[in-house]
Structure 1
Amino acid sequence: MEGSILRAYISENIEKAQRENIPTAVSKFLDSASLSAASALARSTAGRFIFWGGFDGAERVIMLSIPNYIESDDPNEIFTVYSDECPLSAVRIEKDKFSDIGHGDYLGAVMGLGLTRESVGDICVQPDGCDIVALPNAAKYIVQNLTGAGRATLKAKLIPLGEIRAPQVSIKEMSITVASPRLDAVAGEIFSLSRSAAAQAIASGAVTVNDEQILKADRRLSPKDKIVLRGKGRAILGEEFTQTKKGRVRIEVKKSV
């Protein structure tokens, strides 16, 4: 969706959700540009909003409107109680033992069914197949219609969200020093890119800071900022920046690898 159409769509759904006063999805799955627009809308709109992709660390997420009477901020907890309102479903796909297929093959097979990308979340590839998060109607459609990907034979079934085999993520703690906390300098150090390559990635829209797409390489970062570089991973900056004896800025980083 284009930015103005997306904002109007989400705003309309927020009004409806707040009238009904129940936990509700107000968007479909968001790509990085859409997530940036939705995050900006969440910051400027009265209410309580959470972004969720079915499991911790999911890259593709939906936006939820959560009433204030619900104390928890954990969607897994919330939709255990409000199970009828759960806006996401999970599909397990099992492949035959002889085919060697990957993420792109599964995505192509699902898109080949005529589904839109915004109806499908993360695809978690495993040796024996994959688990997919999707909007409920899309999940049912996958189960009813997906039988293969290329020459591979596939079988699909619905599973509880809690059974998703999410990618294993480990945290690498690192310390970097930069001349100043500019986005291009910091991203370059964290993701092992030259400063010009980092600036190019930023200009192409591949970098978000705190779920907001940033296009300016000279954006100054702050402690606790979350940086995501599409295809390279994510990192969270430490609680404070310190200065070295040579006047450079030292930043502690937790990087997901």
Structure 2
Amino acid sequence: MSIYDHYRKEEHVFVDQVINWKDQVIERYSPKLTDFLDLREQKIMSTIIGNQSECIAAFFGGRENSERKRALIYPNYYSPMDEDFSLAAFNLSYAVKFHSLSHRQVLGTLMSLGMTRAKFGDILLKDDVIQIIVAEEIAVFVQNNLNSIGKSPIKLERITFNELVEIEDDWQSRHGTISSLRLDVLISEFYHISRQKAQALIKAEHVKVNQKIIDSTSFICGEGDLLSVKGFGRGMLLSIDGMSKKEKWRIQYGVKK
């Protein structure tokens, strides 16, 4: 069986990239730092790198519960530190009395700067506080060019990771048994709705998997996939724990509003 048989066709390019990074670290005996990876990409990298004696993969996104993280692949002699991940964190100051900013607005403005999503980590919102985590190599550019969001002027103040706001990890962890790993089946299980309603949501393009709209009800999900369903919140397929005696998939998943 080929390694590609374990992954979706559209993931093969990333699989090749991880294999290439791994080979570089082993051949050159020096660390390799990646851009920010989403949860699914982190899972793929962890699976491919594994617990090899020649190289190891570590992840850091600025705080313990970060969703988006940079990966450092390093030889076994190396002891990585937070500084090796080259991250920068900013607090966004704005007139909170006159403006209310959303995650979507912040992300949209960041993307309008001409950078790829892979250069930006988590966006943290708590009460009136907005903070962003970015790759160090674009920190100065972001600070010089991110001057407003919508109609709200903003000012960026660089902060330490210790100053990042605490976002409660309100994922509700659950176990389930499902007939297949199809997207409509998972949505039905996650949110306790009928498969027909789940299929309608998918066909209406109200469902994203790893931030990409998926309109196929038969899309097969894997460990680490992050689902966003309009009106229902987010769900994450944490692990696939094998088949039951009745040939159904045992899974662990998390949901939050």
Matches of 1:104 and 1:193, distance apart in 2: 26
| Residue number in structure 1 paired with 2:81 | 79
Change (3 A) 1:242 1:4: closer
SS state of the match for residue 144, structure 1? helix
CA displacement, residues 191-244 of structure 1 (integer Å, 9 cap, x when unaligned): 33433565785xx99557xxxxxx9959698xxx6553245122545978877x
CA contact (8 A) 2:171 2:255 kept: yes
Q: How does 1:103-122 map to 2 (within 5 A)?
A: 103-122=103-122
Change (3 A) 1:29 1:220: closer
CA contact (8 A) 1:241 1:251 kept: yes
Matches of 1:3 and 1:175, distance apart in 2: 27
Change (3 A) 1:131 1:19: farther
CA contact (8 A) 1:242 1:249 kept: yes
TM-score by length of 1: 0.66
Matches of 1:4 and 1:44, distance apart in 2: 21
SS state of the match for residue 90, structure 2? strand
CA displacement, residues 92-151 of structure 1 (integer Å, 9 cap, x when unaligned): 212212211111211222222222222111211233341111110222221222221121
- CA RMSD between the two structures: 4.3
Question: Is residue 2:90 matched to residue 1:91?
Answer: yes
| Residue number in structure 2 paired with 1:67 | 75
Moved more, 47-56 or 90-99: 47-56
Matches of 1:59 and 1:93, distance apart in 2: 20
Runs of 4+ in 1 over 6 A off after TM superposition: 218-221, 238-243, 247-250
Question: Is residue 2:57 matched to residue 1:55?
Answer: no
CA contact (8 A) 1:235 1:256 kept: no
Change (3 A) 1:50 1:66: same
AA partner of residue 236 (structure 2): R
| Residue number in structure 2 paired with 1:160 | 160
Change (3 A) 1:21 1:57: same
Count of residue pairs the alignment pairs up: 232
Matches of 1:241 and 1:12, distance apart in 2: 33
TM-score by length of 2: 0.66
Question: Is residue 2:133 matched to residue 1:126?
Answer: no
Moved more, 158-167 or 88-97: 158-167
CA displacement, residues 171-197 of structure 1 (integer Å, 9 cap, x when unaligned): 425454x4x552234552123343356
CA contact (8 A) 2:40 2:225 kept: no
Matches of 2:157 and 2:186, distance apart in 1: 43
Q: How does 1:1-257 map to 2 (within 5 A)?
A: 6=14, 10-18=18-26, 21=29, 23-25=31-33, 27-31=34-38, 38=45, 41-42=48-49, 47-69=55-77, 78-80=80-82, 83=83, 85-97=84-96, 98-174=98-174, 176=176, 178=177, 180-184=178-182, 185-195=185-195, 206-207=208-209, 217=218, 228-230=226-228, 232-236=234-238, 253=252, 255-257=254-256
Moved more, 96-105 or 230-239: 230-239
